[in-house]
């Protein structure tokens, strides 16, 4: 392959990878099951890394499934719906067990990586304040779409029941 072809390849590869990532996320949001999680652990936005609201998902854990394998292999969590708009109860399980036995499941490590929601710079201060106030009243919810393979994607962030995506 000539140097010219390598340059074109080097130019287009990041664009293609980014496009595939966006398409995967959009597909998960459209076809995945939507789950509500409480938002906690607010951190201010980092001006050096973009404009986003930082948070952590507050997980509610139930008992691990006894027949789900050793706790050291519990790299997934089965999701148990408690009610409409309520955060799910998570049950530690191996991914092999979760794929076979759970109605819905999530890969635990990927769920914990969901920690930021990008926002317009012009509204950053207002949205930071609103999120902080809503968290204090337990009125901040993260909507997470989880596909059939257990991969989570942020669908929206609700503050006092109002979407930040709109």
Q: What confidence tens digit (pLDDT) does each residue in 107-135 have?
A: 999 998 888 888 887 888 888 888 888 88
What is the pTM (predicted TM-score) of this model?
Answer: 0.75
In a domain, 2, yes or no: no
Please give the tally of structural domains in the chain. Answer: 1
From the list 91, 66, 71, the residue with the least C-alpha distance to 80 is 91
- Note the pLDDT tens digit of each residue in 3-25: 787 888 878 888 888 777 777 76
Number of other residues whose CB lies within 10 A of the CB of residue 44 = 10
pLDDT tier for residue 48 given thresholds of 50, 70 and 90: very low
In this prediction, residues 158-164 reach a mean pLDDT of 86
In this prediction, residues 84-104 reach a mean pLDDT of 89
Determine whether 136 is exposed, middle or buried from the number of CB atoms within 10 Å of its CB (0-12, 13-18, 19+): exposed
Which residues are bridge partners to 76 per DSSP?
Answer: 93, 107
**Tokens (6 digits) for 60:** 């509610």
Number of other residues whose CB lies within 10 A of the CB of residue 92 = 21
The residue segments making up the domain with residue 36 are: 32-163
Which residues are bridge partners to 157 per DSSP?
Answer: 142
Number of other residues whose CB lies within 10 A of the CB of residue 31 = 10
């Amino acid at each position: 392959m000539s140097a010219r072809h390598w340059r074109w390849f080097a130019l287009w590869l990041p664009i293609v990878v980014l496009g595939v990532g966006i398409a995967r996320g959009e597909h998960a949001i459209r076809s995945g099951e939507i789950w509500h999680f409480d938002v906690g652990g607010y951190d201010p936005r980092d001006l050096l890394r973009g404009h986003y609201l930082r948070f952590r998902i507050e997980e509610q854990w139930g008992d691990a499934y006894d027949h789900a394998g050793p706790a050291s292999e519990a790299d997934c969590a089965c999701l148990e719906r408690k009610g409409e708009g309520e955060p799910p109860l998570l049950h530690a399980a191996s991914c092999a067990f979760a794929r076979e036995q759970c109605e819905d499941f999530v890969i635990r490590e990927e769920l914990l990586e969901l920690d930021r929601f990008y926002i317009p710079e012009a509204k950053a201060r207002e949205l930071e304040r609103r999120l902080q106030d809503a968290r204090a009243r337990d009125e901040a919810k993260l909507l997470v779409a989880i596909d059939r393979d257990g991969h989570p994607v942020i669908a929206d962030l609700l503050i006092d029941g109002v979407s930040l995506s709109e």
